[in-house]
Structure 1
């Protein structure tokens, strides 16, 4: 071949290059759409399991009885490393205990009511967080997608110097795609602060996890919790010797007495029923973006210290603020509705951006009906796949393989869309040549 690459090889390479771009765009679209829906994670739990006991408050003594009952139910099994008590609040007025092996709802007197069954809601959040891949791999990819989204937002503004001046200019859609491009650019301008905030916090959450694993491997013998300790509080020395159930009621009573203005969201037991156990209470502060402050108690319920997320180092406060800013869990329903509106717009930006890119290639003479059809499959197939898994949850219950079903439906939609568009293109060519 004397160093000359065959035209067919070049064409295949360009198609492969475009396909890779399409995959990146598809993942951005999926993450944007699932993130928009996941803003209503608490509300979705109530829809998914509507008859679980609900309450506005639960007494410290009732929480203690619930903790004791759950730990007693796990007697003879390996000791759970962490036990979480979700305390009822306005968005999710339920008391729920989660361990390494189970999750149950409590009645108001602390009795175990029924298992928590929110598998579809959890599937949705995992799809957004990790694309249903192994945790470290998935969150790394999603973090990279956050960096890509941030780069696209900034470069889009730089590449269109008149984008702010033309913020409300919309041209009619035509064969050149100007109307679609205008909608893409207008939505990008209108949602720019939101897009930057979501992309930046998403990138921080994803990349921070990878960084933590790397630091842990190099400096802490793989102990990731030791890396996060200076920010979110130290775990303490492990001591596996048996010990009685810790006094969660005393810790909650102390919080009610000393911090009556705080809204308590979680009680966390670290290494329960061992001599190394301790208790953390998470309290939300009004008018703050931090997800809460950790108040640490010993096993007897005696207060020891705060982690400093609310008033510690600036880096601590910033780290504790990324979650609420990313997921819109501050400010109640008005903020969630705003995140819904902006999230739909951001999802639309992801969809139209790829259509514009494919249109430009088409106008340069690069006909790729399969790629266009595949993108139709992504845009239409993703919400359809989510809807099918939700219907399956209602019909078949909590144990349905949601992740497998979602990806099968989406792959079928993509392949089907590609094949349909290819056949249409072949039909047009045949008609023209006849």
Structure 2
């Protein structure tokens, strides 16, 4: 009897599934790290308050206070190389604090503009850099992260093509069947439910990460290699430089001019370009709450007279799309509800990534192809990454601002995966889950006990962490006890 003919759809599904597995195996570890760090930094402003809960807070900063903050920051720059940009971040409902930042550091200021404390949220900065460029040299790291965004888009596309009934089965969960089947159902269902989110995040991430490549190509083709001319078409043209010394720009006058021209404007940043030079100018970024754009830029000369605006809110459609990609990627719009939604969908994407590799590894095991070492390495990647991110908080607290968090994390991660591959028994998934849950629980309790936050938001974060870690810890303990009663010494399935 001859074999039944293979249909074109079956061929497409088989090829899509093969491509899906190949891309996932090639990039899964890095995609997982980026997804997990991205999930956490959705609330990076709130993490900054968690790290430094005793900083002065306010609802607004007057133009005079902004000018005072600029002068105070520049006074601290005496004897250092001239700063090229100075940023004053104004308080908002999400972040009721004001900061002033130069090329050499940043400070919190009080309501009058006086320096109150040094910025010391090194763990938050470490996590942001992890997500944006994996602590590689920035340009190359962002290119790699952008390329991983393209791979994530390819994973989504091949995943949909590999499951022709994916929409029909969107609400079919066989959790009481074979664990491998249940894991596959969760992988597929979460993939369907988060499909719009994953596409939006992956496409904007690729756009942001690979933007430098496209800009370089455009500059070589049209502006003789001048990158600033390319960026000016999107973010606005700046006046020519003049390095001659001059008094500090009048940012307070610029803020008053803005209020007169745009009544009710809500500035988020005041930026002085090339301060203390004759060519300095002031840029004020204004929020547009009902728009996806990160803001509109208004430019003023050093006396505070209006010069121009970038057009991010009403300019060419390409400008508006470019200005909207950042908020769409990071979830910086519509406040806390969107942040919560982004974090939940980010966790779902982490689960999709983790179960995808687990499915492939378990399939190899059932076929008698081994892969125990690979399975142990993947267990360590999934749970070790989260644990090391938590331990970085303790490293930052114990070693201070000079703690080499990036080097420590990357070294510890590489060593942990290597040990897991060489000695698979140490990478028992249940034990690793227990360590991760225990680390989160201990960190939250320690933060409450040692730091004693005086504001509510850090306390809420600690309570949520406790509420999530306790069930995870109990689940791990129960799973371990069940396996021991069954006479098993190791977790038979991956993470």
User: Given the two structures, how large is their TM-score scaled by the length of structure 2?
Assistant: 0.79
Pairwise CA RMSD of aligned residues?
2.2
1:380 aligns with 383
CA distance in 2, matches of 1:341, 1:424: 27
2:159 aligns with 156
Q: Map residues 108-127 of structure 1 onto 2, 5 A cutoff.
A: 108-127=111-130
Q: Map residues 137-176 of structure 1 onto 2, 5 A cutoff.
A: 137-172=140-175
Deviations 1:134-181 (A, max 9, x none): 001111110011001111112211221111111111114666721111
2:359 aligns with 356
CA distance in 2, matches of 1:368, 1:388: 29
Q: Map residues 262-277 of structure 1 onto 2, 5 A cutoff.
A: 262-277=265-280
2:443 aligns with none
Kept in 2, the 8 Å contact 1:290–1:317? The answer is yes
Kept in 1, the 8 Å contact 2:379–2:427? The answer is no
Q: Map residues 13-92 of structure 1 onto 2, 5 A cutoff.
A: 22=25, 24-92=27-95
Displacement of 1:409: 2.4
1:255 aligns with 258
2:400 aligns with 397
2:298 aligns with 295
Kept in 2, the 8 Å contact 1:22–1:375? The answer is no
1:409 aligns with 412
Q: Does 1:367 align with 2:370?
A: yes
CA distance in 1, matches of 2:45, 2:107: 16
Kept in 2, the 8 Å contact 1:147–1:199? The answer is yes
Deviations 1:252-304 (A, max 9, x none): 11223332333211001111111111111000112100000000101100111
Structure 2: which 5+ residue stretches go unaligned?
Answer: 1-20, 429-487, 490-495
CA distance in 2, matches of 1:123, 1:216: 31
1:136 aligns with 139
CA distance in 2, matches of 1:380, 1:96: 35
Moved more, 78-87 or 357-366: 357-366
1:209 aligns with 212
Deviations 1:54-87 (A, max 9, x none): 1111110011011112112213332211111101
Kept in 2, the 8 Å contact 1:104–1:116? The answer is yes
Aligned length in residues: 410
CA distance in 2, matches of 1:423, 1:343: 28
CA distance in 2, matches of 1:254, 1:270: 18
Q: Give SS of 1:168's match.
A: coil
1:231 to 215, 223, 234: 234
User: Given the two structures, how large is their TM-score scaled by the length of structure 1?
Assistant: 0.90
Structure 1: which 5+ residue stretches go unaligned?
Answer: 1-17, 429-434
CA distance in 2, matches of 1:342, 1:128: 16
Displacement of 1:21: 5.9
1:96 to 84, 95, 99: 99
1:193 to 181, 192, 196: 196
Deviations 1:223-272 (A, max 9, x none): 43332111001232111111110000011112233323332110011111
Kept in 2, the 8 Å contact 1:246–1:301? The answer is yes
1:338 to 334, 338, 341: 341
Moved more, 71-80 or 141-150: 71-80
Moved more, 309-318 or 415-424: 415-424
Displacement of 1:339: 0.5
2:462 aligns with none
Q: Give SS of 2:370's match.
A: coil
Displacement of 1:220: 4.8
Displacement of 1:23: 5.6
Moved more, 236-245 or 258-267: 258-267
